Every structure is written in C-alpha cells, then in structure tokens.
Amino acid sequence: MSVAGFTSTGSKHPQVLFGTVSADTPVRMIASHGCTVVGSDGRSYLDFLMALGAVALGYGHDEVNRSAIEAVQQGGIGSLAPAQEELLAGDIAEMMPGLEQVRFLKTGAEAAAAAVRLARVITGRDRVLGCGYHGWLDWCSASGGVPEATRSLYREIPFNDAEQSVELIRAAGGSLACVVLEPVIDAAPQVEWLAAVREACDHVGALLVFDEIKTAFRVSPGGAVQRWGVQPDLTILGKALANGFPLAAVGGKAELMGRVRDTWISSTMATEWVALAAARATLRVMREQQVTTHLHLMGGMLLAGLRLLADLHPVLIERASGIEELCNLHYRNEDVARRVALACAERGLLFKRNAYNFVSLAHSAAEVSMALDILAAVLREQERAMPPGRNTG
C-alpha cells in the first residue's frame, strides 16, 4: 500500500465508513455517475454518501462537466486573475446577499482557517469558540502534533444550548475573536439559540461565523440565513459549491472582507478556473431547476422512512436524526451500526452508519424507496439473527 493511512480522505477509509471490513466490502471505486458509484470490482452501488456531501446535483452532471471541460480547453490556469473568479463571486452574492465579497480557496478546512484568521485581524483578539467540525487544521484540532498553546485558544460551545453558549461567550469576553458554528448538527438549529449567540457576540465585540460547508446550496438557495433568519458576519462555503470540484470560499460584508489586505490568505491553486467554471454551472442549475426544493422533498421522504424504521426496530435503532437534506440513523451500539452498513453494501447500497446521508438532484423517489427497502430487509435480517430475548442496548 503506497498511500499512507490507506487513503488521503480520512472519512473514506473503510474502517470509518463501515466500522469493519469483510472480503466483499467495497473499499475503492473506479467511476461515478448520477447517484451511483462503481467499485473497483465493477459492481455498481446506489449511493447516499454522495462524496461526503460534496455533490448535490449528482455525479458527472452534464452541464457542470461541459463547463469544466471548456475551462480545461481554455488552459485552466494562468498568471493573471481569471475573469471566472469575479463572475462567480457575483453569482454567489446574488444567491446569498450577505456575501458582498468572497475569497476563494480549495478546501473547507482552508476556508474555515481563513475566516478565523480574518476574524483575528478584525478584532485584534486570539480566542475562538466553535460548535461542530471545522476541518483538520491546528486552530480547531486537538489531535497529535498540535501545540498546547494553540489548543488553548479554542473551546467548544454546545449545540442548541442558548444559556450555556451565552455564558461561555461572555466569559471569553474581550479575548474572543469569533464564534464559528455549524448551523446543523444532528438536528435543525433552534432559532432562539442562533439569535442568542448572535446577540452575545455583538455584546462582547466578537464576530459570528457560520460554517456552511455542509448546508450551503442544500438547505435553501440562500443557505442557513435564508432558512433560519439569523445573519452571521462571515460565512464559510464548500462541498456542494462546485458539485465535487475542489473549491471553497469565505465571504461577508465588503467592510469586513476588505481586511484581507491586513493579512495573507493566498494559494497558487485558489484561482485555477476549472473549479470556478464548475461552480458557476452548479449555481446556474441550482437556480434554474430549484434544486433545494428537490433535495427537501426527496430528503423528506428519506427521513420519514428512517423514522418509521426506527419505530419498527427499536431494539436495533435508537432514533433517526438530522434534517431532510442530511440525515442518518442512530443505532443502539457500534456493532449494530457496522453490521447494518456492511449488509447494505452487500446488497448494493452505500448508506452511512453515522452522520450523514445526503440526497441529490439525481435521486428520485424510486432510489429513495429502493434504499429504504434494502434497509428494512437488512434490519429484519439482523433482528432474526439476534439470540432470543437479547436486547442490544
């Protein structure tokens, strides 16, 4: 094996996806199209992981591909700022009016780090509070290799707990640069929580940053702000922005974004224009085909089915959670989660054993029904295999 740790995307490691591996477990793929991926053995799988949420239109969308191919034929990269960069920034501002200016990067982790860097420049402060997953870089990580001095600048606030969140923000006070939060973590946000965090940030002079890596271009055309009504100072975009092409961004009001002049946020590859062209095509399709409406409908069908399965199999499943556009099952224990994920894969379904599963424009009611039927069959089989009287909880 020549790739350290099996794969460079940790969440695609088979132990992460399935918890364990059997001889028939799909671990590498050779193609993707629509809502299907093809394993290295040539077998096709109905997919609800959708590249970890990076694809909202479906794999290999024709219009996105055409735009990307045209950009490749035009050279793809050069020595001057590409026209596509300014055009895409305008497209984003049209969909998300609070993002008057944006700065492009290649990954969500980079964009999150850029937002924090910018917040520290604007406020002249160091400390950061977070809620959710914001990538692997040092500022928010407690993994090996991160200096203790860096770790000490970051602390988490609880999701949907207004009282404790406000208490932590006020305790950080004049040392707090920003609060970075994911609007959705296993459930929809309580508007009261978002509003309380917004007010507390204003009170101490800190910036509020929405990490919309998962939610932007999924929960509504204008993201979490449009759906839940609370406006952050900065917003982080990624994943579905370019329908699988590597692109991310941080954006906000021009007055704040203009402070990029006071720091250094740059990358040689940030302005290659293949991903920029793919993103422009993606946003065009989003607008013209009302993609977020489709995601809500198909995701609603999926989530309703998961809730029914949870009711029918309480010995195996604790609950279904998430929102229509990103949802999953909570199993009674890890052993059940592993067995269900592996059994689904054996039947041709890739369905995540934990957060999250995603629908796309390529998923129809037929694909959602097929997934729910496979899950139902697997759960019935797992219950029959349990020793009499055994409770997995």
Chain segment 41-86, per-residue pLDDT in tens:
999 999 999 999 999 999 999 999 999 999 999 999 999 999 999 9
Q: Are residues 114 and 238 in the same domain?
A: yes
**Cα→Cα distances 287→52, 220, 256, Å:** 23, 11, 27
Q: Which residues pair with residue 36 across a beta bridge?
A: 33, 46
Q: Which of 288, 323, 339 is the last residue of a domain?
A: 288
Please check whether residues 203 and 307 belong to one and the same domain.
no
Q: By C-alpha distance, which of 53, 306, 303, 322 is closest to 187?
A: 322
Question: Does 89 share its domain with 15?
Answer: no
**Do residue 69 and residue 48 come from a single domain?**
no
Task: Please name the residues in contact with 386: beta carbons below 8 A apart, sequence gap of 6 or more.
Answer: 315, 392
The rounded distance, in Å, linking the Cα atoms of 186 and 5 is 28
Look at residue 386 in the predicted model and tell me its pLDDT: 86
Asked if residue 313 is part of any domain, the answer here is yes
Asked if 27 and 66 sit in the same domain, the reply is no
Beta bridge partners of 208: 179
CA dihedral 320, 321, 322, 328 (to 10 degrees): -50
| H-type alpha helices, 129-211 | 148-151, 162-172, 191-204
The verdict on 86 and 202 lying in the same domain is: yes
Strands 154-156 and 127-131: parallel
Strands annotated E in the chain: 29-33, 36-39, 44-47, 101-105, 127-131, 154-156, 176-181, 207-211, 234-237, 248-252, 317-323, 326-331, 349-350, 357-358
Residue 155 lies in a domain: yes
Choose one of 233, 266, 288: the last residue of a domain: 288
Residue 386, token pair as written in the block: 């349990």
CATH number at residue 312: 3.90.1150.10
Residue 203 is which amino acid? H
Q: In this model, does residue 24 exceed pLDDT 80?
A: yes
Residues 159 and 233 in one domain: yes
Residue 272 forms part of a structural domain: yes
Considering the domain architecture, whether residues 95 and 21 belong to the same structural domain is answered as no
- pLDDT tens figures, 223-242: 999 999 999 999 999 999 99
> Domain for residue 391, yes or no?
no
DSSP 347: T
Q: d(Cα 285, Cα 63) in Å, to the nearest integer?
A: 8
Same domain, yes or no, for 82 and 138? Answer: yes
Nearest alpha-carbon partner for 210 in 112, 140, 135, 80? 112
The pLDDT, as a whole number, for residue 111 is 98
- Same domain? For 74 and 166 the reply is yes
Bond prior to 331 in cis (omega within 30° of 0): no
Residue 391, pLDDT > 60, answer no
Give residue 23's pLDDT.
Answer: 85
In this prediction, residue 389 has a pLDDT band, given cuts at 50, 70 and 90, of low
Supply the range of the domain harboring residue 275. 62-288
**What is the structure's pLDDT at 387?**
81
Q: Domain ends where: 242, 257, 288? A: 288
Check whether residue 230 and residue 322 sit in a common domain: no
Rounded-to-integer distance, Cα 57 and Cα 51, Å: 12
Residues 371 and 263 in one domain: no
Tokens standing for residue 360? 């796309």
Domains of the chain: total: 2
